[in-house]
């Protein structure tokens, strides 16, 4: 029969095997292989600054050269209301930017918006934030836009750099519908962008209502006899006086985030 001490050693070894993964995760989280909360906050702050007050120097400092940005919301805005020479049609699921240089060109054409960070959820090598902006178009009381961003980061290989973690990939989605409505109401996009400037979007051009006839029933003009019982008068279609929609006004491409 195994001794008590032998059983105790076996039990301790088993406990060690079970506890080892959790211990390794804790150790990894406390080393330079993972961001600290302060470093994650720095990443989130830098991204918000790129959106609210863009400059090339900050983009070079916080983004990797092969930076990639995925956003169906951004692609929807670009396709529905292209603005600026950097706004090219994109498949909805295609990357919005595939390099740091492309991001710099596109984001550099954006009008400034406020960028309020509502929540942040940091992890080892990613930062997730929830955000809001309230001035996506120069109109009174624009609709607020809320979005979520997931950012993957990599360790900066330049020792002693101001930003020890660089943003490599961004996944961002937001309320593109509210943003587009703001642009339509501001006259930056025409109502042909997919959303009407007023109403529910079901109204169409129509002829004016017929004049009152004091209750007398008048047959359709197509059935009124002209010269014989077998000949009828066919009315020409009445033209409607509908104004042509304005073409989209040139303006910087909607801000990506």
CA-wise closest residue to 187 among 79, 81, 77, 51: 81
pLDDT the model gives residue 84: 59
CA-wise closest residue to 182 among 91, 71, 77, 51: 77
Tell the residue number behind the tokens 């001794």, with chain if given: 3
CA distances from 145 to 1, 242, 251 (A): 71, 33, 19
Q: Phi and psi of 107, rounded to 5°?
A: -70, -25
Contacts of 120 (CB under 8 A, 6+ apart): 40, 41, 44, 127, 128, 129, 130
Distance CA 115, CA 235 (A): 59
Domains and CATH numbers, the chain: 32-185 (3.10.450.50)
pLDDT the model gives residue 111: 82
- For the chain (257 residues), the mean pLDDT of every run of 10, in chain order, is 48 44 37 88 97 95 98 91 70 94 90 94 97 96 97 94 97 96 90 47 44 48 43 48 43 43
pLDDT the model gives residue 85: 62
Distance CA 239, CA 237 (A): 6
Q: What is the pLDDT of residues 74-119, one digit of tens each?
A: 999 888 886 656 667 789 999 999 999 999 998 888 888 999 999 9
This prediction's pTM: 0.64
CA-wise closest residue to 167 among 29, 69, 38: 69
């Amino acid at each position: 029969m195994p001794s008590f001490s032998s059983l105790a050693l076996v039990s301790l070894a088993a406990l060690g095997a079970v506890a080892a993964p959790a211990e390794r995760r804790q150790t990894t989280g406390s080393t330079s292989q993972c961001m600290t909360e302060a470093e994650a906050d720095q990443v989130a702050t830098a991204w918000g600054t790129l959106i609210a007050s863009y400059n090339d120097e900050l983009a070079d400092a916080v983004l990797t050269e092969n930076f990639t940005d995925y956003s169906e919301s951004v692609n929807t805005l670009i396709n529905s209301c292209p603005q600026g020479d950097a706004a090219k049609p994109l498949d909805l699921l295609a990357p919005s930017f595939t390099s740091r240089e492309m991001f710099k060109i596109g984001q550099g054409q954006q009008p400034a918006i406020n960028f309020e960070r509502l929540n942040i959820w940091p992890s080892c090598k990613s930062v997730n934030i929830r955000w809001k902006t309230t001035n996506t178009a120069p109109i009174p009381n624009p609709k607020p836009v809320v979005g979520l961003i997931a950012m993957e980061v990599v360790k900066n290989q330049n020792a002693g750099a101001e930003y020890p973690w660089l943003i490599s990939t961004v996944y961002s989605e937001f309320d593109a519908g509210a943003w587009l409505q703001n642009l339509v109401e501001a006259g930056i996009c025409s109502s042909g962008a997919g959303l009407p400037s007023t109403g529910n979007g079901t109204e169409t051009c129509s002829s004016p209502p017929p004049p009152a006839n004091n209750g007398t029933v008048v047959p359709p003009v197509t059935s009124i006899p002209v010269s014989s019982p077998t000949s009828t008068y066919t009315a020409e279609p009445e033209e409607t006086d509908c104004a042509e929609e304005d073409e989209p006004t040139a303006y910087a491409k909607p801000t990506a985030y």
